Structures are given as structure tokens and as C-alpha cells.
Amino acid sequence: MLTLREFRASDIDDMMEWAMDDAVTEFLVWETYTSRDAAVEFFHAFIVPHPWFRAICWADVAIGSLSLTPGSGIHACRAELGYVLARRYWGRGIMTAAVRAAVEQGFRELQSIARIEAIVFRENAASQRVLIKAGFASTGLQRSYVIVKNKLRDCYVFEMVREESSSLGSSLGHDMEEEGEAIELEDR
């Protein structure tokens, strides 16, 4: 059973599977971890104070994570979606189902947001496919958009607005149902 739940300190050992994998971290803003201490520091400095950070779990084992980071000031109407999944779970529809669930749960729990957006490097075609399958629309290529790992990157920005998300409810977990599994949401 695939679930989303709050990330726990006990998930740090599971996190090491994806945090230490160069193939997984290639398109992330943080470098590949080389020690468990770095993950513990990240947990306390970033995950604990974060307003919406979830573990993606298979049979209650963390296999990835999702976050929705609300904006502030004039950007308080939107949240940025970030996600990561351990490599051995790629290509199974898990991330698409998890993103759909995060959108539904995020709009329900973060009442002030009207838009969820994701920023994806031009080279990350797999992540672009996940977002399209999850119902996001591309707003286009933003050239020279960010500097990540000392490299200027072109990015696609994908968006989902609250009004569009209501149509996802009936398709939530569709990718997983095809494999005989359903996604389950765990409320706070």
C-alpha cells in the first residue's frame, strides 16, 4: 500500500537509499549525501520546521518524499512542489500517484494557496512526464532560470491551480490501481 505521511526521524535510514544515489540527486538542488550525519542535519534543519513535508511510503517504508513550500508576501497564493523517489521504484507510476495525492492533500490543508507549481530542469524528461500525467500544465521554458550546482539551468515551470485540481479526485491513484494497489492518504 502506497501512503503519504509526515516524515519521521525513523525514516532517515530509508532516506539514505536515495540521498546517496547520484542518479537520483542529479536533478535535485542538493548534492548527493556522503554520510548519515548530513541526512540527520537536513532532517532537523529543513524537514522538522517545514510546513508540508511528506514521506512517500510503501508498506510504511519511506521510498521518497514530497514537499509543498508555500510562498510568502505577494507569492503567498502559491506553493512549490518538490519530490524525490528511490531509483528502484522509478517507472512504476508511484510518483505520478504520489503527486496527485499531494496536490489533493495540499490544497485541502494549505487553504491560502491557489496554485501549486513545480520547476523542472529542461534535461529531466522523466519528471516532466510525471507532472503531465498528474494533470499539471507547462507554462513554458524559462531560459537561464536558476543556478544549481554551479550551473546555469533552463527550466520548465508546471502549474496546477486549485480549480483544476478538483477533477483529479476521481483519478487519484489510477496509475497504482492498474497494478492492483491503491494510494491511501494519511491526514495530519
Q: Give me the sign of the Cα torsion angle 34, 37, 40, 42.
A: negative
In a domain, 179, yes or no: yes
In a domain, 188, yes or no: no
User: Is this model's pTM higher than 0.95 or not?
Assistant: no
Q: Is the pLDDT of residue 132 over 90?
A: yes
Q: Under 8 Å CB-to-CB from 10, ≥6 apart: which residues? A: none
In a domain, 105, yes or no: yes
In a domain, 48, yes or no: yes
Query: Where in the sequence is the domain holding 44, given as residue range(s)?
Result: 2-183
**What's the rounded Cα separation, in Å, for the pair 78 and 114?**
6
pLDDT tens digit sequence for 162-187: 988 776 653 444 444 333 345 654 44
**What's the rounded Cα separation, in Å, for the pair 50 and 18?**
20
In a domain, 87, yes or no: yes
Q: What's the whole-number average pLDDT of the chain?
A: 89
CATH number, domain with residue 149 = 3.40.630.30
| Backbone torsions φ then ψ of 93, nearest 5 degrees | 85, 5
Percent of the chain's residues with pLDDT above 70: 88
**What's the rounded Cα separation, in Å, for the pair 147 and 106?**
27
pLDDT tens digit sequence for 67-108: 999 999 999 999 999 999 999 999 999 999 999 999 999 999
Residues in the chain: 188
- What Å distances lie between residue 19 and 22, 86, 101, 151, 179, CA to CA? 8, 8, 23, 20, 27
**What pLDDT shows up at residue 55?**
97
In a domain, 135, yes or no: yes
- The C-alpha torsion from 1 through 102 and 46 to 87, rounded to 10°, is 50
Percent of the chain's residues with pLDDT above 90: 77
Q: How many domains does the structure of the chain reveal?
A: 1
